[in-house]
Chains A and B, each alone.
Chain A
Amino acid sequence: MRTLTYREAINEALVQEMERDGDVFVYGIDVADHKRIFGSTNKLLEKFGQERCFSTPLSEDAMTGIGLGAAINGLRPVHVHMRVDFMFLAMNQLANMISSLRYSTCGNLKVPMVIRAVIGKGWGQSFQHGKTMHSVFAHIPGLKVVLPSTPREAKGCLISAIREDNPVIVIEHRLLYDVSGEVPVDPEPFPLGKGMVLKKGDALTVIAVSIMVVEAVKAAEILSRKHGINIEVIDPVSVYPLDEDLICSSVKKTRRCIIVDNDWVYCGFSAEIAALINEKCFGMLQSPVKRLGFAAVPCPCTRPLEDCYYPNAVDIIRAVEEKLGLDKSDLSGEEFYSYENKFKGPF
């Protein structure tokens, strides 16, 4: 199979879906400028014209409401935000209008709308450009929320989201944009609500969200070398709906679980998974569920504090060692922060 980067996979999904369905349009601040949302909206303007790919004023609330109006009248909007953080300016439309409309109209209206938003990290993105907020969105009944971590999922999730008759928020990670991976040429939807096993194992289950998948896979590789153990790495991909079966069957097998969220821990998605495991796997657990996430502070700008703020493979390795009663392995000579060290923008 040929490989694409994450950004190319997103772009291909948009191109193919816009070719397939003339009702799909892509809009948002700077989607049609020369930078094209880090390349993810490349070619759309040239191929489909400005009626179907256009930049907007800086008016997130109104533009979200406009998307809703277009959606209930038969179009399929894809609204793009360069940062998740900017979606707070649209929370009224999201939480009070979009999420509840199908329900409140007894299904007489449907909202086939996609909202894409990018998580920032590194090079001082700090507290207004680094949020993820999937738990906030998924908390509200009526919003589907996915965070693809590989190019293949990125393409498949976006295709599914565009074809879905309900609002879907697709949260992409900026540092994943350059990641390459195998992606099918044909448009293959990735079912919303399905998770993935990224690495099979039996020692312990690590459930990792968005770019934390990269850290978890890295940790798994080092743990296997250092201790000869295999941990299972699961990417839920979808926060809502959630692939409960995948998570529970893995935890029932390994009987130990660490959740690594790309978010704060308190009141976060990791608490939701811990509760699920508590309800469904209580008697099977050999130790309490452990959670890792952002430090409970706003994200600082300066790099040394940023490194303390985000969990990484080292934290996962240490947590696994502690859970399994293993000695701390010597990690000198291992390379960490490879994504962060490469990233210098564009933002």
Chain B
Amino acid sequence: MANNLETEIYRKLYLIRSSEENVIRYYPQDQMKTPMHMSMGEEAIAAGVCSALGNEGQVFGTYRSHAIYLAKTEDSDDFFAEIYGKSSALLKGKGGSMHLSAPRHGFMLTSAIVASNIPVAVGAAFANKQQGNKKAVAVFFGDGAVDEGVFWESLNAACLMKIPVLFVYEDNGYAVHSPVSERHGYTSVTEIVKKFNCLVKGADTTDAEEIYNLTLDCLFRMKETSQPCFLHLKYYRYLEHVGIGEDFKAGYRSKHEFEEWKKRDPVLTYRNKLLESGFKESEIIAIEKEINLKIERSIIKAQEAAFPDKEELHTNLY
């Protein structure tokens, strides 16, 4: 295989896409009893940023965290076991799709309360800075999160206290079903954040490698300046806010919008890029096959695993 970075990025992209395609396949069987907030469309951000963070980096996410979980951990056993609610999962089914967590992989926590993860990530970065352990921290949130006061409070604190945290602003243009234009009394978040002592970067790309390079640059400059960084990345949520279906008939967004984005689909974009850069299609197919097999095994294991015992209800309470 020619280039480790390129294969790593594609592996992550394909793992996310294929895992979620399997969620779509199996969810109608009603065995995954957890509300699904799907990541489809978001893969480039997850793969790009998480590859740049490396194994040591730490990540904080939201209820829509399938993509960053899979990108950060490259685990599918725990992922499927958790959404099947089984005792074999790291969280033993107590978290489900909205509350994935795998600290040993640097995937710290996720929260279903919009923006509630942001100050926690600032605190984690503060601790890493105090301890001098060089672990980078990235917190992912959507464009709805900047509606919340706690985002601005956290940004201010990070800037004031020179806490190097990467704010990954995943802008899909909608908070649930409300477009930015109906929620923001200003035109550009980034212009406002620039007024803070904060690095500001951004890109409108679905190329994961571009996002990888941009993130590396952010992390480098954060180290140099001891400033936090606000990274504005755009994507399009392919599916409904919650659930595995499309929702273009609901009327709040158009299928045309989706079709435009689909032309730049993050997984296909990168696949084509690999082919153009000299990868053989057979090499790519080999990666895809391996991942599909891995996912298939994870699903079977999850389906066959036991549910947690009743006693599990009371463990880890004090």
Interface residues, chain A, CB within 8 Å of chain B?
29-30, 33-35, 55-62, 85-86, 88-89, 123-129, 295-297, 300-305, 308-309, 344-347
Q: Give chain B interface residues in 103-117, CB to chain A under 8 Å.
A: 111-115
A123-B34, A296-B317 given; A302·B149 CB < 8 A: no
Q: Determine whether the beta carbon of B113 is less than 8 Å from that of A124.
A: no
Q: Determine whether the beta carbon of B252 is less than 8 Å from that of A347.
A: no
Q: Determine whether the beta carbon of A301 is less than 8 Å from that of B99.
A: yes
In the bound complex, residues from chain B placing their C-beta under 8 Å from that of A85 are: 113
Q: Determine whether the beta carbon of B111 is less than 8 Å from that of A128.
A: yes
Contact of A59 among B111, B148, B313 (CB under 8 A): B148
B30 at interface, CB cutoff 8 A: yes
A89-B148, A124-B97, A128-B98 given; A302·B252 CB < 8 A: no
Q: How far is the CB of A1 from chain B (nearest CB, A)?
A: 34
Q: Could you give 24 example pairs across A and B, Cβ below 8 Å?
A: A29-B178, A30-B177, A34-B250, A57-B147, A58-B114, A59-B147, A59-B149, A60-B148, A62-B149, A126-B95, A127-B99, A128-B98, A128-B112, A300-B94, A301-B34, A301-B94, A301-B99, A302-B33, A302-B85, A303-B33, A304-B310, A305-B307, A344-B30, A347-B35
In the complex, which residue of chain B has the Cβ closest to the Cβ of A62?
B149
A56 to B317, CA, bound (A): 37
Q: How far is the CB of A227 from chain B (nearest CB, A)?
A: 27
Q: Determine whether the beta carbon of B177 is less than 8 Å from that of A124.
A: no
Contact of B242 among A57, A126, A308, A346 (CB under 8 A): A346
In the bound complex, residues from chain B placing their C-beta under 8 Å from that of A128 are: 98-99, 111-113
Q: How far is the CB of B72 from chain A (nearest CB, A)?
A: 20
A-B pairs, top 6 by smallest CB distance, nearest first, are A302-B93, A302-B85, A301-B96, A124-B34, A57-B147, A33-B177
Q: Determine whether the beta carbon of B94 is less than 8 Å from that of A61.
A: no
In the bound complex, residues from chain A placing their C-beta under 8 Å from that of B92 are: 302
A304 to B96, CA, bound (A): 13
B314 at interface, CB cutoff 8 A: yes
A303 to B251, CA, bound (A): 34
Q: Determine whether the beta carbon of A129 is less than 8 Å from that of B85.
A: no
Q: Is the interface of A mostly helix, strand, loop or mixed?
A: loop
A267 to B90, CA, bound (A): 32
In the bound complex, residues from chain A placing their C-beta under 8 Å from that of B145 are: 58
Q: How far is the CB of A46 from chain B (nearest CB, A)?
A: 13
Q: Determine whether the beta carbon of A34 is less than 8 Å from that of B243.
A: no
A61-B149, A300-B93 given; A308·B35 CB < 8 A: no
Q: Determine whether the beta carbon of A345 is less than 8 Å from that of B243.
A: yes
Q: Determine whether the beta carbon of B93 is less than 8 Å from that of A301.
A: yes
Q: Determine whether the beta carbon of B96 is less than 8 Å from that of A126.
A: yes
Q: How far is the CB of B107 from chain A (nearest CB, A)?
A: 17
In the bound complex, residues from chain A placing their C-beta under 8 Å from that of B178 are: 29-30, 33, 55, 57
Q: Mark interface residues in B289-318 (1 if CB within 8 Å of A CB, else 0).
A: 000000000000000000110101110010
The interface centre, meaning the residue of A58, A85, A125 with most chain B CB atoms within 10 A of its CB, is A58
In the complex, which residue of chain B has the Cβ closest to the Cβ of A300?
B94
B61 at interface, CB cutoff 8 A: no
Q: Determine whether the beta carbon of B312 is less than 8 Å from that of A305.
A: yes
In the bound complex, residues from chain A placing their C-beta under 8 Å from that of B184 are: 57
In the bound complex, residues from chain A placing their C-beta under 8 Å from that of B194 are: none
Q: How far is the CB of B151 from chain A (nearest CB, A)?
A: 10
In the bound complex, residues from chain B placing their C-beta under 8 Å from that of A88 are: 113
A29 to B144, CA, bound (A): 11
In the complex, which residue of chain A has the Cβ closest to the Cβ of B145?
A58
New A-B pairs, 16, CB < 8 Å, besides A89-B113, A301-B99: A33-B178, A34-B250, A57-B175, A57-B178, A89-B148, A126-B94, A126-B99, A128-B98, A128-B99, A300-B93, A301-B96, A302-B33, A303-B85, A303-B307, A304-B307, A309-B313
B224 at interface, CB cutoff 8 A: no
Q: Determine whether the beta carbon of B113 is less than 8 Å from that of A86.
A: yes
Q: Determine whether the beta carbon of A345 is less than 8 Å from that of B317.
A: no
In the complex, which residue of chain B has the Cβ closest to the Cβ of A347?
B35
Q: How far is the CB of A304 from chain B (nearest CB, A)?
A: 4
Q: Give chain B interface residues in 127-173, CB to chain A under 8 Å.
A: 144-145, 147-149
Q: How far is the CB of B108 from chain A (nearest CB, A)?
A: 16
A126-B99, A347-B242 given; A300·B313 CB < 8 A: yes
A35 to B33, CA, bound (A): 21
A125 to B112, CA, bound (A): 10
Contact of B176 among A33, A301, A309 (CB under 8 A): A33
